[in-house]
Amino acid sequence: MRTTQAYYRKVRLIAEHYGKDPKYLTQKQVRSYIVHLKEVKRWAPSTTRQSVASLSMFYADMLGKKWNLWNVAVMRDKKRLPVVLSVGETRSIIANVALGRHKTPIRLMYCCGLRLDELVHLTVDDIEPARIAIRDGKGSKDRYVPLPSKMYAELVRYWKKHRNPQWIFPSSGRGDPLDPSKAMRVSTIPIGKSALSLALRKAVKKAGIRKKVTAHTLRHSYATHLLEQGVNLRQLQLYLGHEDIQTTTLYTHLTPFGEEQGMSHVETIDQLTR
């Protein structure tokens, strides 16, 4: 219903733009309107594409117009580099997470580069001493992620406080229960993504960091910091669960890794000819 309303609204806007029934508009007028949205109104690519889809449905599907103009709106969303935290900023944010039941999952999200949805759905059977099994990750794919030994020990301590038979991070219920461990022990659902996101936002504010930080920022930071430590792209691709390594190469734009090593090799090449 909402999609249908949005489509009708987009057709109504072109009618208001020209002040006439849209079925009487010419191909040239519709094309000019689309260019107007892009260059004058400066609508976002996704919004413009939705408008073009609405107009295409109206003129091509409903009115049978065989116009060759819809490619005028082929627009790609701008590729923006993601926000990345420094190691110091990451440490400060985690240190400022108020509750222990939120701090450990947020720390794990960074230490293993997990997506928020992957994190909250971790079960007892997914955790091994040196790795985590991600079941049915993005694209319905499974993968293993290395788990630092100290992080494993922290997870064991965390679980022993609640001993939920299924979830590593069970929900403690709404609000602030008097006995969170007891509530977590009997919970049949995992911790809510919104609860962790809120805890993260509060920690970012308390740490005095002005960057726009989300749960996914921790994943971006994990990838960038590993590259800086010398982990190769192929290995990082496997850790992150990227289907295409081109997605992983994004992080090469976020780290100075390799510059010093590269300059050293250049100097060596120069010496070979002397």
Catalytic residues, by residue number, are 115, 138, 216, 219, 242, 251
Distance CA 266, CA 274 (A): 13
**CA nearest neighbour of 115 among 91, 132, 98, 128:** 132
With vertex at residue 40, the alpha carbon angle to CA 37 and CA 45, rounded to the nearest 5 degrees, is 45
Instruction: Give the list of residues 6+ apart from residue 92 with CB closer than 8 angstroms, or none.
Output: 207, 208, 209
Instruction: Give the list of residues 6+ apart from residue 102 with CB closer than 8 angstroms, or none.
Output: 195, 196, 199
Distance CA 216, CA 82 (A): 9
Distance CA 167, CA 89 (A): 29
Distance CA 13, CA 43 (A): 13
Q: What tokens were used for 88?
A: 């110091």
